[in-house]
Structure 1
Amino acid sequence: MEFVFLNGEIIERSKAKVDVEDRGYQFGDGVYEVIRIYNGKMFTLDEHLRRFVKSAESIGISIPFTSVQLSEMLKELLIKNNLETGNIYMQVTRGIAPRNHVFPTGNVVPTLVAYTIKGVRPLESLKSGVKAILTEDIRWLRCDIKSLNLLGNLLAKQKASEAGCFEAIQHRGNDVTEGSSSNIFIVKNGTVITHESNNLILKGITKDVILDLCLANNIPVEERTFSLTELNDAEEVFLSSTTSEVMPIIEVNGKKMGRGVPGPITRKLQGLFEREIEKQCGLLVDKLI
């Protein structure tokens, strides 16, 4: 039997229902988070909860639980579902109200739901690297909000899938922004470079862990806009996300990146990232490095 968290209660998944007039269903009026689980423990939980609250506040939604309450309820959900490796998906919407573009007035309570997803680490892809394509970034200008409105991301990811690739690297004109569901990094002259965290990209939790690891291990790093030319000429390219960790990109639009294999700095960061996981969640059985 599987359980979900819905509006303060943990109930059987088969009994969890959301009204057809929920604004998340009709407008995408809400935000979400995905939290990675290793050894039955949540990785970077506090950082995910802070971003969840910040995203909600950015669109005027007040989450009806404190971060401490959310943390305890998510831990209970993990225990109930006996999840060792996988993800927690969590979202909050503005709630249930008659369909109207204007925010509802009165006593409308946000709808909060969370559930678990089993999933192993993508070890083969982490070892060998993945392919990507380039696509114009057609999304809105508040990509820093982890909104339920993901149609632009979906169209980019589908384009990558149809091309037999793992990810779509998006760009606005000549400037690389991020992947359809990831942050993008290049290595140039030994320096790790990634787009600054502003309104054009999502401030990735995994991205921030990587930046901290670079600083702590004397790996030069820059947060700045970089061009398609710099991407094309990069020594190494990799992406980061909650589910993909530090993922090497070995080919973009059919062109090999660097030597066409995961590079030494990417490999070093993968090892450092595994150590960070083990610090927070205990020893990994399915180790990469």
Structure 2
Amino acid sequence: MAGFFAKLKEGLTKTRENFVGKIEEVFTGRKKIDEELYDELEEALIGSDVGVHSSLELVERLRKEVKKRKISQPSELNEVLQELIAELLGEEETLNFAEQGPSVILVVGVNGVGKTTTIGKLANRLKKDGKRVIMAAGDTFRAAAIDQLEVWGERSGIEVIKHREGSDPAAVAYDAVQAAKSRNIDVVIVDTAGRLHNKVNLMEELRKVKRVIEREIPGAPHEVLLVLDATTGQNALQQAKLFQEVAGVTGIVLTKLDGTAKGGVVLGIRGETQIPVKWIGIGEGIEDLRPFVPQDFAAALFNRSDEEGEI
């Protein structure tokens, strides 16, 4: 089986064509590094879903490196830009867990981004890592979400705490936390509704769920993960800003990175919200949700390395 790096590289093919293709067009055939080059690079980055703020920051950092390293050839800029992108994305950030007792991961995001599927895959991964896991069907407004979580539970042998459709999500979270405390469970993953049409309702609902969880387990939730769909590009960035405001997001899971040309949004999210991308999805399989490693992402994006093995 090919290593995960190879799969990541393959999954980023369309993003590479869009993102790196536009950048290489700017650099190719030029004799010198001038203002026109920087202006065109800025436009290319913005056009690749990187976002205005992150594009300006990358170009500014590139200017400084060019001066510092005394670079004169445009052909040398690709490698420098790859380094700067890895830097902008920061270090790999793992999930936060409680030092003792159950850890609670609250998962938020709009409908249709792959939230419930992400919970199922994450729960399966944590179980394989030796943790005892339960899932809470807190999206009580959609019967399909409850049913979908149950299917994942059956597939992975993980219990799902649920109530009827239309029940209070905070009550589901309460029952899940109580079950975790009484059964020596390591991790509780709580699904939430993804309605965005009324921000006030969403905010109040999430606050109530968080309040109930924290009352039962001080310091919880230990993670608030926002699931975003990479194929939506700038919409994903707007969702990140909204949920950062209403939910206190601690990490992002970016799904559907494979097959999209809009993977550059990873940079926009990190640069404009400072929220770390912690996990990425690059396929339909249960193993295709993996921790996000910025250096590997940058290397796969620029298609530089074939030496990496299994991650």
Band the TM-score falls in, shorter-chain normalisation: under 0.3
Q: Which has the larger radius of gyration?
A: 2
Which one has a larger percent helix, Structure 1 or Structure 2?
A: 2
**Whose relative contact order is higher, 1 or 2, with alpha carbons under 8 Å and at least 6 apart?**
2
1 or 2, which has the higher strand percentage?
Answer: 1
Return the TM-score normalized by structure 1.
Answer: 0.26
